[in-house]
Chains A and B, each alone.
Chain A
């Protein structure tokens, strides 16, 4: 006990020594500053290597930015962006419906779990793109093919998370509900669903990320439309700047869609924080 105050003063005197920066800059860096610095540094390194090496597949960052701005100004990617986003939305919505309902049933009923678990895990670990030729054979060059690929990409991670979420709900809450005479439907809507939301949303965020991957992969392989198809076309023309520019668009889609799910999650699961 006697050594405690000494340790305290030691850290107190040591603290100012570690910061060589003025207060305002330090506050900025602990906010978003460090991230901004990292991004700018990355862009500069990219720019430098781009000019120095002069490789065709690595255009300087400014060229990529130029292509990106041009895309937006000319509206050249708008129709492709729209068809990509439509596919993403439909595919993800379908995945959510499938994933939540199958996951909930598997989490609640041991028999359903035993029947489906092997399939769900097999499809989850299997590279989803393997199914592209099959969907192509079934649906041809239609939107259905792209959407089907998005669905196989994103559904199973949602199933697995939802099942785990439902299965790990505090059993005493279910018992409490039973003690008040809840029927199975009430146990679902009033206990299992709200209690499992935090983990379910973790699954939805992962599913969203995989849906974006599925969108691009599907379009690159079997579609004439969408950002993936566009990237494929520019790739074939060895126009690396435009391919990178599309990658930036996809990156933004990924970040924004994730932020939307996250925002919804924050609204609905504030109690868990």
Chain B
């Protein structure tokens, strides 16, 4: 379980001499085991900052962030991150990228390759093991990013707008595949997004955030049955939540200068 309690994050004054910027203010929420939580909010609300704090990539000043009641002090093997810009190593082929997390943890080459090939298959990239990232489309590159994260068998998957850089068709396809994958693996997922459809389509709950300083405005339950398919988009509950999110987000955008 991920627990975030009274978390605030300020960005420093050392570099620019300006007043400190309060990025996150008094954030409180929990993510249960095997739960899929999507996070949505206007640009600059600190969604990504929040994710990076949970990932242990940046420090925080106030509050508590813990995983299974152990405080987060850095990255850990129970968490893996999927990055918005894929963050693939351009010099390594697909196999080399997917084995990365295993290799740096000292897993033997044979074993890590076997595990990587398995996951390359799961994300539908069989036959592309020896391709370099630049030879792949954006959608394929993010599949590599997903396979790399899953390869280390994390309990928690932290996804930072993973489909944000993809075109609409690829994005929808990957959403559906992620849903199928999640049905099988049932990881705990925190998924940052800009897209209201995506937030409702994927999440068990949607966390709505306010603009800077980022606060949790509301946690919204998504009462849609699983396994979900594209059809849920037509259901009244889906449309209702989506509309509700839009009303809120529009009001926030309008309130900004």
Contacts and interface: CB of A to CB of B under 8 A. Distances in A.
B227 to A, nearest CB: 29
B189 interface: no
27 contacts: A170-B87, A172-B83, A175-B52, A175-B87, A176-B87, A177-B100, A178-B75, A179-B55, A179-B57, A179-B75, A179-B81, A180-B75, A180-B105, A180-B152, A181-B77, A181-B104, A181-B105, A190-B100, A190-B104, A194-B89, A195-B89, A195-B90, A271-B90, A271-B91, A271-B92, A271-B134, A272-B90
Interface string A170-195: 10110111111110001000110011
A169 to B, nearest CB: 11
B104 A182 contact: yes
Given A179-B79, A271-B134, 16 more contacts: A173-B89, A176-B81, A176-B83, A176-B87, A177-B104, A178-B75, A179-B57, A179-B75, A180-B75, A180-B101, A181-B76, A190-B104, A195-B91, A269-B91, A271-B90, A271-B132
Contacts of B83: 172, 175-176
B158 to A, nearest CB: 8
A269 B90 CA distance: 10
Interface of A: 170, 172-173, 175-182, 186, 190-191, 194-195, 197, 269, 271-272
Nearest 10 A/B pairs, CB to CB? A176-B87, A180-B101, A271-B91, A179-B81, A172-B87, A194-B91, A181-B75, A182-B104, A179-B75, A186-B104
A195 B90 CA distance: 8
Nearest to B152: A180
Contacts of A170: 87
Interface of B: 52, 55-57, 74-77, 79-81, 83, 85, 87, 89-92, 100-101, 104-105, 132, 134, 152
Nearest to A271: B91
A227 B56 CA distance: 59
Contacts of B134: 271
Q: Is the interface of B mostly helix, strand, loop or mixed?
A: loop
B235 to A, nearest CB: 36
Contact of B80 (A175, A180, A272): A180
Contacts of A195: 89-91
Given A172-B85, A175-B57, A176-B83, A272 B105 contact: no
Contacts of B89: 173, 191, 194-195
A272 B87 contact: no
Nearest to B100: A180
B143 to A, nearest CB: 16
A171 to B, nearest CB: 10
A179 B80 contact: yes
A157 to B, nearest CB: 24
A195 B57 CA distance: 21
Nearest to A182: B104
Nearest to B81: A179
Contacts of B90: 195, 271-272
Contacts of B87: 170, 172-173, 175-176
Contacts of A190: 100, 104
Output the residue of A177, A180, A182, A197 with the most chain B CB within 10 A: A180
Contacts of B56: 179
A271 B132 CA distance: 7
B142 to A, nearest CB: 13
A272 B57 CA distance: 28
Contacts of A177: 100, 104
Nearest to B102: A180
Contacts of A194: 89, 91-92
Contacts of B101: 180
Contacts of B104: 177, 180-182, 186, 190
A199 to B, nearest CB: 13
B208 to A, nearest CB: 26
Output the residue of A173, A178, A179, A191 with the most chain B CB within 10 A: A179
A172 B75 CA distance: 15
B91 A272 contact: yes
Output the residue of A176, A194, A195, A197 with the most chain B CB within 10 A: A176
Nearest to B58: A175
A53 B90 CA distance: 58
A170 B87 CA distance: 8
A272 B105 CA distance: 27
A197 to B, nearest CB: 8
A167 to B, nearest CB: 15
